[in-house]
A and B are shown apart, each in its own frame.
Chain A
Amino acid sequence: MKKAVLEGLLFVVGEDGLSFEQIEDVLDIDLEEAKQLILELKEDYQKEDRGLRVDFLGNRFKLTTKYEHREYYQKLIENPLTNTLSQAALEVLAIIAYNEPITRVEIDKIRGVGSVQIVRKLVAKGFIKEAGRSEMAGRPILYKTTSEFLDYFGLAKIDDLPKMEVIQEEEDLEKDLYNSKYEE
């Protein structure tokens, strides 16, 4: 019975998704049982004659359609994929995701080019949000990614990001100081 209720709950919340805490509270069960229920429901949906699946996106369980059925949805919707993010926006997002929380000036430094507009747009889109202020001079705003960001890229949690490979040459502190006069 509880499994059926859970299914209904997932339907009701839609894209907002459910957290473990919510499942526990609403069904009045403990974490173990909640995990068990989710697992069972997930397995039910894996059957080929089911059209939905239980996905873990942006730290929440969501009922989604199946990727395998995409061609049918494409047929249904005439204009899919019109509004993807620009290369610049992707760069800024990547930099924030791997360094959060981070200030805008630090982002600019890595990209070698200003990012004011892009950061503003990403905030408005809900992919990043302000996360307090840095201790640096001027107390600039810090930014970090949101669960909407994770969901948008089909990620369950921030650790699911691919590993970054930077082959850094050995840093030389003294040289850094020398060069720092070129920075704002």
Chain B
Amino acid sequence: MNVEFVINDFEGPLDLLLHLIKESKMDIMNIEIESITNQYVEYLNKQESMNLEVASEYLVLASELLEIKSRMLLPREKMEEEEEEVDPRDELVNRLLEYQAYKEITKVLKENEEKRSEIFTKTPENVDQYMDEVHGIVSDVTLDDLVDAFKKYLERQKENKPLKTKVTVKEISIVSRRHDIKKILSKKKKVSFFELFPIVTKEYVVATFLAVLEMAKNREIKIVQEDTFSEIIVEAV
């Protein structure tokens, strides 16, 4: 059960540190700074030896850890006028706790996101026909506003495209096209060759064409063309 995480699996240095703390079953309020620093630095070294780029943010935290570690090693100065000693880890612990809280919230958001995606609304009806003729342009809109609005629109259009789209190619088999063609011919007896290609995508055209050839070979259909350049007719046999 030793799952290896690479650096890209983490959202940032705090995420990585939280993971290491959890792995070594430490109490977040009482981090063993020496051990965790070693683990953290070791982890970064390992990533680099695997030729994975380590972002500078990770190095910043590494240096912070080292600094805390060194401050822990130094004999604590008794600060005058101050009743309590300051734990050098406090600041980091607070940041970790805060980050962890947000991380927890993202789980709820994720759940909500999934739930909401199962509920549908429709786009608003087009009510243009009820609109009055062009209203005068509201006067406090400047050209700059329009240019801004247009830029935003373009950017939004760009972002509308999902960054990662899963392209599931719908398998179009020759068998299914044969089936379709048979169906068409059983209704119509005679159709134009081009009517068999209602969708023009490469896969679709190829599958349909092969289906037609196969059916012609099996004498399931007859293909007729009366003159050169006249329409090609496909007939049921």
Contact = CB atoms under 8 A, between A and B. Distances in A.
Nearest to B168: A79
Interface residues of B, number: 53
Which of B64, B115, B116 is the most central at the interface, judged by chain A CB atoms within 10 Å of its CB?
B116
Interface in B77-104: 86, 90-91, 93-95, 97-99, 101-104
Nearest to A99: B102
B143 interface: no
Contact of A114 (B57, B101, B106, B112): B57
A45 interface: no
Interface stretch (A20-28, A31-39, A166-174): A166-174
A2 B97 CA distance: 52
B115 A64 contact: no
Contact of A67 (B94, B105, B106, B115): B115
Given A15-B123, A90-B109, A152 B116 contact: yes
A50 to B, nearest CB: 15
Contact of B119 (A67, A90, A94, A162): A67
B110 interface: yes
A182 B68 CA distance: 13
Interface in A160-183: 161-162, 164-169, 171-172, 174-176, 179, 182
B108 A162 contact: yes
A73 B118 contact: yes
Contact of A172 (B90, B99, B109, B158): B90
A153 B159 CA distance: 19
A111 interface: yes
B109 A166 contact: no
B11 A87 contact: yes
B91 A14 contact: no
Given A124-B159, A168-B94, A73 B105 contact: no
Interface in A96-143: 98, 110-114, 121, 124-126
Interface residues of A, number: 63
A75 to B, nearest CB: 12
Given A79-B168, A166-B97, A65 B123 contact: no
A70 B118 contact: yes
Contact of A153 (B112, B122, B158): B112
Given A14-B123, A152-B116, A154-B119, A168 B57 contact: no
B122 to A, nearest CB: 4
Given A82-B166, A94-B105, A166-B101, A154 B11 contact: no
B124 interface: yes
Interface of B: 11-15, 29, 55, 57, 60-61, 64, 86, 90-91, 93-95, 97-99, 101-106, 108-110, 112-125, 127, 155-156, 158-159, 162, 164-166, 168
7 contacts: A15-B123, A90-B110, A110-B102, A111-B14, A124-B158, A161-B105, A167-B97
7 closest A-B pairs by CB: A113-B12, A124-B159, A154-B116, A15-B121, A70-B118, A90-B106, A112-B14
Given A11-B122, A111-B14, 16 more contacts: A13-B125, A64-B121, A79-B166, A82-B162, A83-B164, A83-B165, A91-B11, A91-B103, A94-B106, A110-B95, A124-B155, A124-B158, A153-B116, A154-B112, A165-B104, A175-B91
